[in-house]
Every structure is written in C-alpha cells, then in structure tokens.
Amino acid sequence: MRPLRFLLQKEFRQILRSKSLIFTIIFGPIIQLIILPLAANYTVKNINLAVVDHDHSTYSKKLVEKIYSSGYFLRAGYGDSYNAAADLIAHDKADIILEIPQNFEDNLVRENKQQVYLAVNAINGTKAGVGSGYLGAIIADFNNDVRLQWITPQRFTQAPTIDIVNANWYNPYLSYFMFMVPGLMVSLLTGIGAFSASLNIVREKEIGTIEQINVTPIKKWQFIVGKLIPYWFMGMIVFTVGLAVSRFMYGIIPVGNVGLLYGFLSVYLLTLLGVGLLISTFAETQQQAVSVAFFFVIIFNFISGVFTPIDSMPGWGQALAYISPMSHFASVMRMVVLKGSTFHDIQSHFIAIIILGVIFNTWAVINYRKTT
C-alpha cells in the first residue's frame, strides 16, 4: 500500500496547486446550485393575456378582474378589437386572447349559458397548455359564483354531492424547489465528477508524466484507485456544501436519514468516477476526453428523470435509464429527501449502482495499458 500512499500524495498536491481546478470543482457547482433553480423554473407564470371585451358589462369586467387577480396572468391588452389582439400575439406580446362576445351578461342571466373564445399561441406547447388550463379553471370558478348568486336555496335539489379534499403528500405546498433542487444536485455532481475524472489520465499523457509512472512498480489497480480517491473526497465536499445551500437558501431539510444519502453517494461517486476514468483510458487528448464526457453527461441528464419522468419515455429509453448511474441517484435523492425512504426502499437502486460501479471500474483497470 506504500506506492498507493505516495500516489495519493502526488494527486492531492497536484489538485491543490491548481486554483482554477478547485474553483471549478467546488465553487462552480455551488454558484450553479444557487442560480439554476431560480432560472430553470418550470412553474408557468406571467402569462400575457389580451382581452377583447365586446360587452363591457358588469359581469365581463368581474370576469376579467378575477383572471388578472389570480397572479398567473399579466395585462397584455384590453379593448374591443380582435385584430389588435391578434397583432399582439403575432409580435409575441401576448400568449392568449380571451374574447368576450356582445350580450355576454344578458345571455348568461336570461339563457343560463354563454360562450367565450380563447386563442392560444401554441409555439410553446407547455405554456399554452398550462395557461389555457389555468384560464379554463378560473372561468369555471366564475361560472359557479354566478350560479350561486342567481339560484335561490329553495331551487337546490337534495341530490347527493361528493366533496373532494386534496392532501399533497411529501410536498404540501407544491414547491417547485422541493422537487428540482435535489435533482440539480445530482446533475451538478455528475457533470463535475465525469469531466474531472475523464481529464485525469489524459493530463498525465499530455504532460509526459505517464511514462514515468509506467516504469514504476505501481500496479494498474493502484494507479486507478489513486486517481479515484482524491476526486471522491472532493465530491463528498461538494455534496455537503450543496446540502447546506439547499437548506439555508431554499429551506429544504431531508426528511430521511442523511447518513443513508452519504452511504449511497460514496458508492455513486466510485461508479461515476469509474466512468470518467474509463473515458480517460481511451482518450489521447483532453479535447477528446471532454467531448466524450460531454456526450455521456448530456445523455445521463436527459434519461435520468431529473427534468422529465422516466415513465413517459419509450421502452428503450427506460432501459437506458436503468443502466445510467445518474437515474438511480436522482431517484434515491428525492425518495430520501422528500419521502424519508429507508434502506429497504432504495435497496434495488443500491444493488444496481454497485453492479455498475464494479463494471465500469473493472473495465477502466483492464483498459489501462501499463508498460513495464
């Protein structure tokens, strides 16, 4: 174990000498964890609504005021010209047009029915779907308010009714940060770990020190382990600081056992760094290593379930997600942090990540060609 100790001393000194590397590995993810949850927010708000009111009645004005007071819509325009509102959509100044017809109030009171027209800018499908859903729910609620005003209690039937009571488990306030921050921590750790490990051996090749190491009595597994351990410690530090940022900035406190997170993280980092070192054994230059690592990190991110549900992917996508280390860690993070899951609940992910770690690290040891 003495050669391994000397190799570790060399690696730690080399890392500590590079201030830019320390900033990239430690401070880079912290800054990203502060900025990304605020920027990459999938909550649809600030929908620009243009209203075309041909009626200008009391009810039409109450409907418009109810919509704008919901907090989801911004005033993009108000008038009685549909062409002017359509021009706002054409110039991306409005997302939805609500057209209220003439005699809106009279028909609603006398005939108990009326129609309104919605025109939605569907270039952004998510915003269009969610925005029109919000608007439909607000109009339906306004319709119920009108019915309660005009129907007397004697006319109500005694038919049984069903009351629905919602209970939001694990995320009672439906906070977007509660869902996204744990996933972003996994994404940032994956990117930093894969890139730093993939450049490790290649850097030795480019500066020529790999030839000096090759003529030493260091075994291949000692060389790979010596490359793994320093970045494993740095990954632990990044994760610890990430937990602190998520707690003090976003108020996220893990419901489950934090020690369980660290236990899974320790295995995950070995697996992830094994992937990076495997890339490094194949690449001849740092540019090649970065390109290949970027390719795999992008795939890991999209099939991990951090941004989109794995269940909505096709069968081949779900199979790829199962052999991706990142998808297992993303699931475990959300299960432990939000649900308080125990080891029994995550043991399938734990077994899968161990198997993947053995495969990638063994492959890296075998592929590293050491000449004596």
The 3-class secondary structure across 304-372, one letter per residue, is: CCCCCCHHHCCHHHHHHHHCCHHHHHHHHHHHHHHHCCCHHHHHHHHHHHHHHHHHHHHHHHHHCCCCC
Element housing 96 (H / E): strand 96-100
Taking the CA atoms of residue 297, residue 299, residue 305 and residue 308 in that order, the dihedral angle to the nearest 10 degrees is 120
- Of 93, 25, 86, nearest to 241 by C-alpha is 25
Strands (E), 157-214: none
pLDDT value for 150: 61
Strands 117-120, 96-100: pairing kind: antiparallel
CATH number for the region 47-155 comes to 3.40.1710.10
The segments of the chain whose pLDDT lies below 50 read 371-372
pLDDT value for 350: 92
Residue 59 region by backbone torsions, left for phi larger than 0, else alpha for psi between -120 and 50, else beta: alpha
3-state secondary structure 28-91: HHHHHHHHHHHHCCCCCCCEEEEEEECCCCHHHHHHHHHHHCCCCEEEEEEECCHHHHHHHHHC
Element housing 100 (H / E): strand 96-100
On average, the pLDDT of the chain sits at 81
pLDDT value for 265: 93
For the chain, the C-alpha Rg in angstroms (whole number) is 29
Residue found under tokens 């569907």: 122
pLDDT value for 209: 67
pLDDT value for 142: 83
Residue found under tokens 């890991």: 300
- Of 31, 22, 16, 24, nearest to 290 by C-alpha is 24
CA angle 264, 268, 272 (to 5 degrees): 175
pLDDT value for 266: 92
156 CB-contact burial (10 Å; exposed 0-12 / middle 13-18 / buried 19+): exposed
Residue found under tokens 């039409």: 60
- Percent of residues, the chain, with pLDDT higher than 90: 10
Query: What's the rounded Cα separation, in Å, for the pair 88 and 73?
Result: 15
Number of Cβ within 10 Å of residue 323's Cβ equals 13
Which CA distances in Å does 300 have to 81, 180, 297, 320? 49, 16, 5, 9
Query: What's the rounded Cα separation, in Å, for the pair 322 and 336?
Result: 19
3-state secondary structure of 206: helix
61 with 14: CB under 8 angstroms? no
Crossing angle of helices 220-250 and 176-198, rounded to 10° = 160
pLDDT value for 163: 61
pLDDT value for 258: 92
Sheet containing 73-79: which strands, arranged edge to edge? 73-79, 47-53, 96-100, 117-120
In the chain, domain spans: 47-155, 177-367
